[in-house]
Structure 1
């Protein structure tokens, strides 16, 4: 056996090395694969029926096991009963396998623990709308606490893919189009989850969201500069600032090289440059896809060799390539066993870190489990309320207390409309239609009935989410005509692999509202009754045709189990909306891919006849009160290696309490390569009473301005920097110009990236 280190970072302990030295090849391979107990029809991963040979847990893996895959999250099971099953199986590993090593249990936890009866929080795109990292941390702590109670060790979240094209189906799993917002909120989630002893997993490393034409698994055509300056930034923050313990390789290729077989990314960058010393896990079936989809490997053994050499330590969710095919390749001499040893050392080191090497499971499993406690509901409600974006309003909202309201639309009374693709309801229960939801999920209609008690409410769906049946239009028109206000609740259905309008494998050719929902909106608008458009979606849609004609418009990105109550609260005025768009609201599908982080020629100008300006910009969001930003101060003497201190006075000039999101933007006026016309440098959410003012001071590290120069270095260059604060990236409420002095500064890994905030 070749003597290996875990490069870079701490060496594996002597205990771990001694343990591996006693292993047979089969016992080593068992530690770097998962096992998934599932049934036919439970399709929650791409092409999952293409690979594994059936094998039973007790009789086929006597050599041990690395991971147990989705023990709670594959089908609706009682948590306490399943915990008893899990403790029994873990005792089996301890007592019946030769080396007595328990399995590591992993679960999905993107919008909460993916288990029956567990709290389901807003989707990550809603986290982005909240601009509230502290609340995201609290959510992560609650999710981690639930997982730890149930004997789970690793969560497959958060998603740090930066949105590049809203046509891509997995937009609802992402946080934002801005890498700094993704990085701060994603790292906050990591900190919350890992504070409970659960290992978080950054995914999908890297490039997945930049796929060709917004197609799932599509090839990525991207330059090294865009990769470094945009897509890698959140992952770097998650590793360096969040100390994350696991990273998942992505399905995509970049410039012809599949990430799962790219040692430059998975070893050279992630480990040798960033110093990551945790485990790299494959996205489900990603190793086998090197043969099946990428065709860079002739068989599964060769695929296993490529992935191991690149730095993929654990094959999930099963051992299709890393068991029999890899064993044969090692014995044939085509794969060096030292690569296996390296992965096994990392897998065992993770188990040692989690305390699994000392676990006996002789303690009793939990018998009473509350996965949706009042604390869970409180945070779910707060995050939902803070994530809802008021896009437009002519004064119709809040609804008059005695208003006659017609609630219309396919998502008005549909619980599934509140949840994203990776919620248990849409991800798993869709395959078990007879199972109860397991948590309270008041719909928008139900919640509005409970809150709007002074006025009459009528309802009719009008149409379905995604078909061409217009037979309900007449009832919708009649209901709207008889009402003072029509609340029209439209949007998405999240699902998998083409079974929904958004979600994994549910990409779009256009950005129109699905089905005949636009025609329904047009028909209701034609009645002349004021229309409040409420969108429950997993992506932004091109609705410029509606915003100018609707009395008000509200955007909710899958707001979770308390989302119906939150929307109703905004409509009635109980909740003062404070969400901001974490992604530009597109003008058209033809303008995609688009990002507010574009250079000058990526926007409008005289050189083209087509506009790229979005319907609403990144950072936009209205309130029932008003705020002013005045007295912008930028401390003198800013240098390329120092901190830029920006201070602004924020005042609530309205007649009710509310929250403002202070957004600081910058523009590098002249640089050695083209730079964005606007870049978010820092933000802070602040609650103010009517008439209250506060000074908000943001300390922006110079490294926030770093970019990749022509030589491939990440640097901060001297020169003029425009700085402004506004209610969106496109609005300059107050602005200043500052000269960054000094030499061109090559950014190091020790340079801070977080923006410090002081409020006076």
Structure 2
């Protein structure tokens, strides 16, 4: 008998000369049904007889290797994006890939399927996970994500260092109710704004996997969105591996209630193209049982399972799992925290610093005395997806290294306090090696003194002054042993209640329980008080007021840097959208104290944050600087820019709004109608996309296009480009690093067109130098999605190319005239048209036509009626209307068909139905009335999936070729899939 545990060396799947796809297909044929089903779970067992090791999907590498011990921590992605430098991001991705391979060398269970980058465009600044993305612009997002993913992947033609996974498909920009909200992505928004961020890295073969998002899109869970996943699969020549998000498979039944049965739901997910179930942690039992039952009930074919397993195996083969001797990316386990990675972390931290305003305060003059105050004077904080850095360098430390101790003063603004228990009469201290908090201390003891810092939304942290360790209530018994705020639910924050007599009670924010002092010998603090009545009261003695320390540090300083911002675990993060867009009041108070204490100083507002803020108009700063949480080298990177050792190169990849009112509804995904992002905004931002200052003085002199006319209207633009030569000059005394940007606008376009970034280039200019910068504008970037023919087109007309330093600073203009055939009238007669493909949607929402395919429209929640408008339709010869309809529930349900043509006349071939106008409304722009030409009643009975075809005859009229707009008004419980005018 042969040894079945030893693979046959002649087996085709072991032949490295064969393609990964061929090898994967051969392997699938050798697996048993049970082995294949087991591989569908995130924790797949080994198949020793075939040489396959145990496999786990997913390792987190968002901006460094996370959750696997010590690793280099780079700036957050939103900070890396501020470099606008694909080469830098590729080098960062390369370093992270090396360190992930080192972790894999130490522990082969570490997956080489890495879950990064996040490519969701930053549509709205209130999204809690803003820090994880790159830019509000989908093409810039794609460019930078492609670069980072290329670094993770490596450049070998056959083998991949890791397989990057793009997160999260699709329409995912809110944490509020994230598993049950439906993102409305009408076709233009989907094609023009959402998809490019995903398809860019896939077309470049920089990523080999995608993670489906928790939410629904157009009424269907993303884990069932086969039509959307197919669009991504069409973008890559490789087999695309699609993983679920954690616990999402169960949500389809338990939260979204899209299916009533987990077996049906799992079968539907497999049919839609989900290849791996991230569910129930290490317990594969529920997943394998559900898939087995789906097979037995005939809900899914084994061929569908084979397809999913083949995609996983192809990915694993690409990482060299079966060819260890040929794998070019093997590194030793100690390839962590390499000197070149430290240097790169510092470079990345400096390159992402953005100087937003500067009235001569920066760079800091030689010999200046600098006061650094505020919560980020020395703190370096981590977010949920950060790794464990080998070290951190804060701003004050780095400035002291550079300027000397005598030139740097520091105060973080925290109050140093003693909390005396009303029960014991003694001070709270951290006791023993376990750092347990007990109320038996002496107020003079350093262990009984605590620094209290107020963050977002009334959340406080308390840390022992002598150790710097934070209080935590994570284990019921309160300790002071945490090095940072962290955890899926942050355990290191407290809410304060001040009683009428001035005593405090403290509520542990993570559990909602109040701190109580036990009746034991030490007076141990425990977080178990159910109500305020059960809470301990503490008398508070202020040892040192934070405001006084700030005043002392600022008094007599030449430059005052007030370092404010957010803790990435508070006030916005995964599972929590931002509660406010403004700086917390406690931090603004620190600014006012610092400004008042040093009227003669230059004041620099430094914002260290995961997202933009709406800055108060009364923040009268001499300079404003932003950086994301910049990783382990934050302090050095900031110092390099503030003192002028590095020229500021950072530019915003996301605009900062001027007013809270300007940002719109977080849950409104129709960026066109909602005027979201730079593309469609009508309100001017405080700081625009691409904004950032240099220490030089760059002047834009001229722009010369290679062509001013392009005769290719009606096509998608293809690979054609327009070249621009932009002449700039540095009139300053320092070398300037300028980011030359080009934005396209089409003021006469028939559709809302927006303001699009279409090209950019970075150039370094010596003082007094003039440079011609060559930029190439892909004409495909001018295209819009033609909903009438389901394709991209560049329409005829004039396109204005603005050139300058940001979306709001475009001193140069070049016009491009596109000639050719315009988009023809929409064909409605004899052709069923999806209601979702309308030109305008009002008070309706997109919804799933069936559980697996198609999109329909229905009246939006809390609305009695809604409508869709199809513009410029060819109505010639129409004699009847036919629609496919269903119901959302009982009650009134009908569709009213209205027509509007020039001059208010009903067009030839379309007669008026009895009943006159619908509501007597008129279009405000043209003052032409809408005329009701048919009413279609939705049959009673049936559910949301019970689609019926209904028809209404129209009185015949004379033949002709009229053009008009058609409005379909949905009333009550009506759902509408398609409409057709019939001859």
Match of 2:384 in 1: 421
Contact 1:468/1:515, CA 8 A, preserved across alignment: no
Q: In structure 1, how many angstroms separate the alpha carbons of the residues matched to 2:710 and 2:177?
A: 40
Match of 1:200 in 2: 164
Query: Tell me, which stretches of 5 or more residues in structure 1 are unaligned?
Result: 1-9, 36-63, 66-92, 426-437, 605-609, 747-760
Q: How does 1:319-718 map to 2 (within 5 A)?
A: 319=284, 321-359=286-324, 369-416=334-381, 419-425=382-388, 438-453=389-404, 456-463=407-414, 464=453, 465-466=455-456, 467=458, 471-495=545-569, 500-514=570-584, 516-527=586-597, 528=599, 529-547=601-619, 549-593=620-664, 602=675, 612-636=683-707, 637-640=709-712, 641=717, 642-676=720-754, 678-711=755-788, 712-718=790-796
SS in 2 for 1:352: helix
Offset, 1:443: 0.5
Q: In structure 2, how many angstroms separate the alpha carbons of the residues matched to 1:617 and 1:191?
A: 29
CA 1:185–1:639 in structure 2 vs 1: closer, same or farther (change >3 Å)? Answer: farther
Q: In structure 1, how many angstroms separate the alpha carbons of the residues matched to 2:674 and 2:738?
A: 32
Q: 1:180 aligns with which of 139, 151, 165?
A: 139
Query: Tell me, which stretches of 5 or more residues in structure 2 are unaligned?
Result: 1-17, 105-110, 415-452, 461-541, 825-983
Note if 1:263 corresponds to 2:226. Answer: yes
Q: In structure 2, how many angstroms separate the alpha carbons of the residues matched to 1:292 and 1:397?
A: 55
CA 1:493–1:214 in structure 2 vs 1: closer, same or farther (change >3 Å)? Answer: farther
Q: 1:113 aligns with which of 65, 80, 83?
A: 65
Match of 2:189 in 1: 226
Q: In structure 2, how many angstroms separate the alpha carbons of the residues matched to 1:153 and 1:322?
A: 22
Q: What does the per-residue CA deviation read over 1:241-288, in whole Å, with 9 as the maximum and x for residues that have no partner?
A: 245211111111112111111111113x22246655221111222222
Match of 1:756 in 2: none
SS in 1 for 2:632: coil
Q: What does the per-residue CA deviation read over 1:72-109, in whole Å, with 9 as the maximum and x for residues that have no partner?
A: xxxxxxxxxxxxxxxxxxxxx36xx4443123453111
Q: In structure 2, how many angstroms separate the alpha carbons of the residues matched to 1:506 and 1:356?
A: 38
Q: In structure 1, how many angstroms separate the alpha carbons of the residues matched to 2:603 and 2:641?
A: 15
Match of 1:159 in 2: 118
Match of 2:40 in 1: 32
Match of 2:972 in 1: none
SS in 1 for 2:700: strand
CA 1:542–1:213 in structure 2 vs 1: closer, same or farther (change >3 Å)? Answer: farther
SS in 2 for 1:724: strand
If each structure's helix is expressed as a fraction of its own residues, which one has the higher value? 1
Q: In structure 1, how many angstroms separate the alpha carbons of the residues matched to 2:561 and 2:374?
A: 8
Instruction: Report which stretch shifted further, 288-297 or 476-485.
Output: 476-485
Contact 2:199/2:235, CA 8 A, preserved across alignment: no
Contact 2:380/2:634, CA 8 A, preserved across alignment: no
CA 1:216–1:697 in structure 2 vs 1: closer, same or farther (change >3 Å)? Answer: farther
- Look at both structures and tell me which one has the larger radius of gyration over its CA atoms: 2
Contact 1:409/1:489, CA 8 A, preserved across alignment: yes
Offset, 1:15: 4.3
Q: In structure 1, how many angstroms separate the alpha carbons of the residues matched to 2:224 and 2:177?
A: 22
SS in 1 for 2:31: coil
The size of the alignment, in residue pairs, is: 653
Contact 2:98/2:335, CA 8 A, preserved across alignment: no
Q: What does the per-residue CA deviation read over 1:164-215, in whole Å, with 9 as the maximum and x for residues that have no partner?
A: 1111111000101111110111111122221162111111111112x48796
Q: In structure 2, how many angstroms separate the alpha carbons of the residues matched to 1:327 and 1:143?
A: 38
Match of 1:741 in 2: 819
Q: In structure 1, how many angstroms separate the alpha carbons of the residues matched to 2:321 and 2:698?
A: 52
Contact 2:178/2:215, CA 8 A, preserved across alignment: no
Match of 1:168 in 2: 127
CA 1:12–1:414 in structure 2 vs 1: closer, same or farther (change >3 Å)? Answer: closer
Q: In structure 1, how many angstroms separate the alpha carbons of the residues matched to 2:325 and 2:354?
A: 49
Contact 1:603/1:613, CA 8 A, preserved across alignment: no
Q: What does the per-residue CA deviation read over 1:460-503, in whole Å, with 9 as the maximum and x for residues that have no partner?
A: 111423347795223223322342322111111112xxxx2232
SS in 1 for 2:816: strand
Q: In structure 1, how many angstroms separate the alpha carbons of the residues matched to 2:628 and 2:343?
A: 18
SS in 2 for 1:207: coil
Instruction: Report which stretch shifted further, 189-198 or 585-594.
Output: 585-594
CA 1:11–1:324 in structure 2 vs 1: closer, same or farther (change >3 Å)? Answer: farther
CA 1:276–1:357 in structure 2 vs 1: closer, same or farther (change >3 Å)? Answer: closer
Offset, 1:14: 5.0
Q: In structure 1, how many angstroms separate the alpha carbons of the residues matched to 2:555 and 2:254?
A: 56
Q: In structure 1, how many angstroms separate the alpha carbons of the residues matched to 2:253 and 2:141?
A: 32
Q: What does the per-residue CA deviation read over 1:389-434, in whole Å, with 9 as the maximum and x for residues that have no partner?
A: 0011111112222222221111221121xx4431124xxxxxxxxx
Offset, 1:337: 2.7
Contact 1:204/1:248, CA 8 A, preserved across alignment: yes
Q: In structure 1, how many angstroms separate the alpha carbons of the residues matched to 2:406 and 2:602?
A: 16
SS in 2 for 1:655: coil
Contact 1:392/1:553, CA 8 A, preserved across alignment: yes
SS in 2 for 1:415: coil
Match of 1:127 in 2: 80
Offset, 1:362: 14
C-alpha RMSD over aligned residues: 3.1
Scaled by the length of structure 2, the TM-score of the pair is 0.63
Match of 1:311 in 2: 273
Q: In structure 1, how many angstroms separate the alpha carbons of the residues matched to 2:325 and 2:772?
A: 55
Note if 1:190 corresponds to 2:149. Answer: yes
Q: How does 1:286-297 map to 2 (within 5 A)?
A: 286-297=248-259
Contact 1:468/1:516, CA 8 A, preserved across alignment: no
Scaled by the length of structure 1, the TM-score of the pair is 0.80
Q: 2:212 aligns with which of 228, 249, 254?
A: 249
Contact 1:163/1:174, CA 8 A, preserved across alignment: yes
Offset, 1:675: 0.5
Q: 2:203 aligns with which of 240, 245, 253?
A: 240
If each structure's strand is expressed as a fraction of its own residues, which one has the higher value? 2
Q: In structure 1, how many angstroms separate the alpha carbons of the residues matched to 2:665 and 2:236?
A: 29
Match of 1:23 in 2: 31
Contact 1:300/1:321, CA 8 A, preserved across alignment: no
Q: In structure 1, how many angstroms separate the alpha carbons of the residues matched to 2:39 and 2:759?
A: 43
Q: In structure 2, how many angstroms separate the alpha carbons of the residues matched to 1:510 and 1:441?
A: 29
Contact 1:164/1:593, CA 8 A, preserved across alignment: no
Match of 1:431 in 2: none
SS in 2 for 1:369: coil
